[in-house]
A and B are shown apart, each in its own frame.
Chain A
Amino acid sequence: MELTNLTITQTHDKLTKKEFSAIELATAFLEKIDKEDKKISAFLTLTRDLALSQAKEIDDRILEGREISVLAGVPMAVKDNILVENVRCTAGSKILENYIAPYDATVIKKLKSQGAVILGKTNLDEFAMGSSTENSGFFPTKNPHDLTRVPGGSSGGSAATIAANLSVFALGSDTGGSIRQPASFCGVAGLKPTYGAISRYGLIAFASSLDQIGPLTKTVEDCRIVFEAISGKDEMDSTSLNLKFKNQNSKPQFKIQNIKIGVPKEYFIKGMNVEVEKIIKKAVKKIENLGAKIEEISLPHAEYALPCYYIIAPSEASANLARFDGIKYGYSQKAAKDLMEVYLQSREKGFGAEVRRRIMLGTYALSAGYYEAYYKRAQKVRTLIKEDFQEAFEKVDLILTPVSPSVAFKLGEKISDPLTMYLSDIFTIAVNLAGLPALSLPCGKVNNLPVGLQIIGNKFQEHEILKVGEIFEKN
């Protein structure tokens, strides 16, 4: 039996039936990583000792005949911008190359208490800024479906571990598409939850009004399991909210026949890969054949989402990344002669090109004389984008769109032109600006490269999104 290609539920089932032990399972994954991650480069740090000690605890529990949770003993990977106590956390940046996390992020605390086994920390674009994982300060990750292509980003390492069976599930973060786009490129499921659904305490901040943590998994069902385990209000994150997702699963009579789905005409644009468009249209047809009502809708400000995001996200980033000053932690240029030089040189050497570009852009947009023209205007356009969705959700329950206009592109293909790179997130960004939940799930392939379908819901409608996703996946 192949231990490493099971879903969360299958793994749980076999652990409780004692078909294998948690230690055997963790060891199988660690050995596979040792063998296969050389070519994929999904992991930045392996937490072998932690994994084995967590696995042992679960085996002891099973031996004692105690009940275990569905995530107990299940091996997972964590994007390296989420803190795991006493484990290095780099955010993919040289500036944090030797930073040891002093505490657990709330999501990690929750998963540890459920008994999930942490295999290691995964590669990302530096500070989650990028769409290909090529902006990592260490090395690029490769797409397991084609090693000459990118896995997407910024949660490219996490997505690659799922596609290559190097972990059962993984955590990512999504500020403009960083869970959904790599999920799409790697052919796995990825959920970006509603803003506020999951605590971000212990997530290294990029753009605080947009960032959300979420799961990457093999199946939509697994997405639901992880989402339920990590969601909920946390006193350590004032933007987190308490909502009763859990009991919704037992809500009676969910019928896809009662669901109305909108397809926004603005999301089928010129320049989109024709094959991708065909596959998305086929997926929409399939959902219609399963019984949902499909209608065309309009999100008139869709084309402004990307420029709006490239004011708001860099502005917030420029403020958030001010903390990396060479004084409190992280890389410090010790040869500098005065304090100003410590700042200038530490941040020059510590940050990579894309991070510096965004800090510059954000600082510019917030600086005296430009604030009204850029930042304030972008915030107003954000209101209109949000209202577009509000109006759409008065007519329909869910919205279907592509995740990205193309399949995974070649390594190096877009790295020299920031604007072209930004365009690969054109369908995911509006969701973050509006704070909505959205799922990316595999719906077909172009020449063996996966294509992802995006299901967007109204705030806190994760249950409906996942239900439709599960029905799609099973048919």
Chain B
Amino acid sequence: MISKENVKRIAKLARLGLTQEEILKFQKDLSSILDYIEKLKEVDVSKVKPTAYSIEMENVMRKDESNEKLKIKFKEHRSSLASAKASANEKLLDLAPEIKNGYLKVKSIL
């Protein structure tokens, strides 16, 4: 059984707030799933290489340059032609909960 302290530690690492009842619930749920996963210990993997992706490929890269094609063509659904050319940046900032002077605004860290 995974300890309550461990559940709290994992929740903090995952940045998940949990209620008291949930700590108990997750303690039970995670323990039963982890017990099931113990089954993997039956397999001898001493000589096996790990697989991260089913298709082997690595370091697929494009040139690090600004690409006009990647800029989002913008058709504003709620307002007029004037904003029709708003940049991708503005469109993304529109989705942010809080912005100030074109930046994402966050609460104090300390």
Chain A residues in the interface with B (C-beta under 8 A): 85-86, 99-100, 102-103, 195-196, 209, 235-236, 238-239, 241, 301, 303-304, 307-308, 310-311, 318, 322, 325-330, 332, 334, 336-345, 347-349, 351, 356-357, 359-361, 363-364, 367, 374, 376-384, 386, 418-419, 433-436, 459
Contact = CB atoms under 8 A, between A and B. Distances in A.
Contact of A376 (B17, B50, B96, B104): B50
Given A238-B60, A435-B55, 20 more contacts: A102-B72, A195-B54, A310-B37, A327-B96, A327-B106, A328-B104, A330-B97, A337-B107, A340-B15, A348-B18, A360-B11, A360-B16, A361-B34, A363-B10, A367-B13, A376-B50, A381-B48, A383-B48, A384-B45, A419-B32
B36 A310 contact: yes
B1 interface: no
Interface majority SS (helix, strand, loop, mixed), chain A:
helix
Interface majority SS (helix, strand, loop, mixed), chain B:
loop
B89 to A, nearest CB: 10
Given A338-B108, A347-B16, A383-B51, A99 B40 contact: no
A241, A357, A360, A374: residue with the most chain B Cβ atoms closer than 10 Å? A360
A328 B95 contact: yes
B57 interface: yes
Nearest to B72: A103
Interface string B14-54: 11111100100010011011101111111101001111111
B98 A307 contact: no
B18 to A, nearest CB: 7
A125 to B, nearest CB: 16
Contact of A328 (B29, B48, B96): B96
A363 B13 contact: yes
B27 to A, nearest CB: 10
Interface in B83-110: 88, 91-92, 94-98, 104, 106-110
Contacts of B77: 86
A166 B77 CA distance: 26
